Structure 1
């Protein structure tokens, strides 16, 4: 499959992660924290990655997702429990923390492979190499395009993940502190 078709497919499949539609309509829980909607979406995304990109690529993205997700989930839960046991934590206690972290885990194991796949299917290195191997040198427009590619890669791999994580942490802190929340303009940062 051509990289453009792959990108269109995975961008289309990412719409429910950003909008919550239709996965949040199927809100009956399998276990506390995992709804049928998110479970089916998890299966759809991972099966799509496996079928379209192959077993080796799928194994790598699943491993990366697990390496990112599991420490975040388990350390977050452990810290929440320690804060609760110290008497400073959320009054609802471990039962409220548990379902949140289970939900966070299934969400991360869904969207991390999806995001990795969306970025990996675009052949940025080919764009850059084609621009650099010109015998007549690099024109001004090509230099601007190269700068755009490099800045784009930096934004995708560094800036956006840091901003989103900061916004999520601030939102959780504001919810914990009981502050009024402004609408997050459908960015689905409450995952």
Structure 2
């Protein structure tokens, strides 16, 4: 597929050891690092962020807006989050990731149950409750508003089901070789909610 061919411009194909000199000296890896560095210097994103931030109060959702972008961890996207913290320690989050590699974005929902989390303990899989294809109706107005804004500035939303496909022959950071999804390649190592 054409998207996967584009992705290979940023991830060296066939190198299993992502921490090796061969990997980090590759043209692909250097292109990826340059794209991330250029994104860090972006002035335009501040204007976009201010517009998106204003949507946190839509429809009486009582959400907090967070910029969770972390280029120091080699994130490949701006990571904006709308959080709703419930009294029962459940955090509902609408995430909007804008890729630094292509003019695309994705929107997804994550729910985290912090009620049973003990600091320092490993959390179980129930803590990581998300499904790229599930989106609560209570947040659809927010999703529509975000999409309208980003589409109007020339960005295109990529369907979440497309992002789940693995891209063979590559790895990155702590993601194992042959385990990279398109989401991992274009946005983040994993969907996450900032503490």
Q: State whether TM-score is above 0.5.
A: no
Bigger Rg, which one: 1
Instruction: Name the structure where strand makes up a greater proportion of residues.
Output: 2
Higher relative contact order (CA 8 A, sep 6+): 1
